[in-house]
Structure 1
């Protein structure tokens, strides 16, 4: 019968620099995934005709005899949507990196008072 070895460890400090680097890389990956997901979603919605159908309805509702109305298809074009998504992704990268680094500083402060988070690690032999 295998014996399990256990060790109780305490995370007493999180290095803010390493937390910042890891959170930056994970935020970049999440930002790239967001842009790709929005591009795929836009292409699927365009392929099934959602923008043209909704655009025709809006154009009919907002148009008059001389004016064509609001053109949803030109407003929600792929370059415009991807530009907006990229801007949001960049803001998200900056905010997530800053918040994770701030969280590391706050964890270090609170770990000084209460001792940190205790973990029990097990190793099968």
Structure 2
């Protein structure tokens, strides 16, 4: 068995790894929203929402609607903006967390790990 202490985490490495993880999670997010959008579209949910929205917002119900509330372009553009914000926030927070850990580890000695061989 070996007992080790994690005294410092390199912020540059944390930034690179968190950026890679957040970009991968962005693509997972986009695929999940796409699957959900297609699933609800196949159940005719979006057309009913759009029809109800057009009925409620049009001055004359027979004149037609002012446009769809839910469309693929709108859903995926909002999803992309939220995903981009998440990339920036996740990367920044992970990097700040590395600096905070380094400061705390300098005061307390870091996290102690005990490593052992497999049986």
Which of 82, 89, 93 lines up with 1:88 in the alignment?
A: 82
Report the secondary structure of 1:43's partner residue: helix
Q: 1:112, 1:120 → 2: CA distance?
A: 20
Structure 2 partner of 1:118: 112
Tell me the C-alpha RMSD between the 2 structures. Answer: 1.7
Unaligned runs of 5+ in 2: none
Residue-by-residue CA offset, 1:38-71 (whole Å, 9 max, x unaligned): 1111111111100112222333333333654564
Higher-strand-fraction structure: 1
User: Is it true that 1:43 corresponds to 2:19 in the alignment?
Assistant: no
TM-score (norm 1): 0.84
* CA deviation vs aligned residue, 1:69-112 (integer Å, no higher than 9, x gap): 564xx232112211111111111111111110000001000000
Q: In 2, Cα distance between the equivalents of 1:88 and 1:38? A: 12
Q: Is the contact made by 1:27 and 1:97 (CA closer than 8 Å) also made in structure 2?
A: yes
Q: Does 1:98 align with 2:99?
A: no
User: Counterpart in 2 of 1:21?
Assistant: 16
- Measure the CA separation in 2 of the matches of 1:58 and 1:80: 15
Q: Is the 8 A contact 1:58 1:70 kept in 2?
A: no
Please give the alpha-carbon distance, in whole angstroms, between the structure 2 residues aligned to 1:62 and 1:80: 18
